[in-house]
Amino acid sequence: MAEHDKILLREVYKEFGSTKVLQGLNLAIRAGETLVVMGRSGCGKSVMLKILLGLILPDSGEIVIDDQEITQLSEKDLVPIRQKIGMLFQGSALFDSLTVGENVGYALKEHFKMPTEEIQQVVKKNLSFVDLAGAEDLMPAALSGGMKKRVALARAMAYQPEILLYDEPTTGLDPITATTINALIRKTQQELGVTSIVVTHELDSGFSVADRIAVINDGVIIEIGSLHEVQKSKNNFVKLFLAGPK
């Protein structure tokens, strides 16, 4: 692990029955960077993020976060690792029966046992960060897709994680709302200094937030580098992918 690496995936394999998903994936994420991971639908992007959270165990390989290998950890020992990580799930995954405020404050109450008044302060601050000041009492059903993503971001960053994982943060949004989310991802990086992985197959969104871009195909990283470097790739899949839909 290089000194500036925050997260390392080493020779990670994962299959579900006869579906081979990750096939010896190697990836290093540097502290403070935003790494965008792109690849076709079903190539294993969400699985990779869930492996980093310890929600899915790889068949083999190592996951190192801050110099600690996590695949061998018990549920109890995973708790402090998970507390370093905020995740914006694909589809936002808000709790429908809880208000926006309760969603954002959920982990602070359940996992960090923070006093109610402090939680309210954090919720207020984070909702304002995502430009949803005063939305505490709304129910998720009353929110648009873009608002849900912003609430999900406010929730993911509630406990000031060092790492943020974004699963398709702009998919399904109109271009203007997507631009707002991209700006929030950059603002989160700049103001909180987080290390982020953004999984997306939206080219514009990926290009706009990335310090580096990694492309997955057939279960491995086939290209990684700056936007400029990746755009010069000789790999046919990368060229086809980056050319976008025709």
Ligand X SMILES: Nc1ncnc2c1ncn2[C@@H]1O[C@H](COP(=O)(O)OP(=O)(O)OP(=O)(O)O)[C@@H](O)[C@H]1O
Beta carbon nearer to Mg ion, 41 or 74: 41
Contact residue for ligand X among 43, 94, 122, 173 (CB under 6 A): 43
> Minimum distance between the CB of residue 90 and Mg ion, rounded to whole angstroms?
5
Beta carbon nearer to Mg ion, 105 or 148: 148
The 3-state DSSP class for residue 229 equals helix
Applying CB under 6 A, the span of 37-45, 128-136, 218-226, 233-241 interacting with ligand X comes to: 37-45
Beta carbon nearer to Mg ion, 88 or 135: 88
Contact residue for ligand X among 7, 8, 12, 21 (CB under 6 A): 21
> Minimum distance between the CB of residue 49 and ligand X, rounded to whole angstroms?
8
**What residues pair up with 121 in beta bridges, in sequence order?**
none
Separation CA 8–CA 70 (nearest Å): 11
Binding residues for Mg ion (CB under 5 A): 45-46, 90
| Positive or negative: CA dihedral 226, 161, 146, 94 | positive
For the CA atoms of 76, 80, 84, 85, the dihedral, rounded to the nearest 10 degrees, stands at 0
Binding to ligand X, residues 74-133 (CB under 6 A)? 90
Answer for the pair 149, 185: CB distance below 8 angstroms, yes or no: no
Answer for the pair 120, 69: CB distance below 8 angstroms, yes or no: no
Asked if 45 is part of the footprint of ligand X (rule: CB under 6 A), the reply reads yes
Binding to ligand X, residues 154-213 (CB under 6 A)? 201
Q: How many CA atoms lie within 13 A of 62 on its CB side?
A: 11
> Minimum distance between the CB of residue 215 and ligand X, rounded to whole angstroms?
12
Beta carbon nearer to ligand X, 44 or 86: 44
How many residues bind ligand X (CB under 6 A)? The answer is 13
Asked if 42 is part of the footprint of ligand X (rule: CB under 6 A), the reply reads yes
Q: Select from 34, 17, 23 the least CA-distant residue to 165.
A: 34
Asked if 46 is part of the footprint of ligand X (rule: CB under 6 A), the reply reads yes
> Minimum distance between the CB of residue 39 and ligand X, rounded to whole angstroms?
6
The 3-state DSSP class for residue 103 equals helix
Separation CA 101–CA 154 (nearest Å): 10
Asked if 44 is part of the footprint of ligand X (rule: CB under 6 A), the reply reads yes
The 3-state DSSP class for residue 87 equals strand
Give the burial class of 164: count Cβ atoms within 10 A of its Cβ; 0-12 exposed, 13-18 middle, 19 or more buried. Answer: buried
Q: Provide the binding-site residues for ligand X, judged by CB under 6 A.
A: 16, 19, 21, 39, 41-47, 90, 201
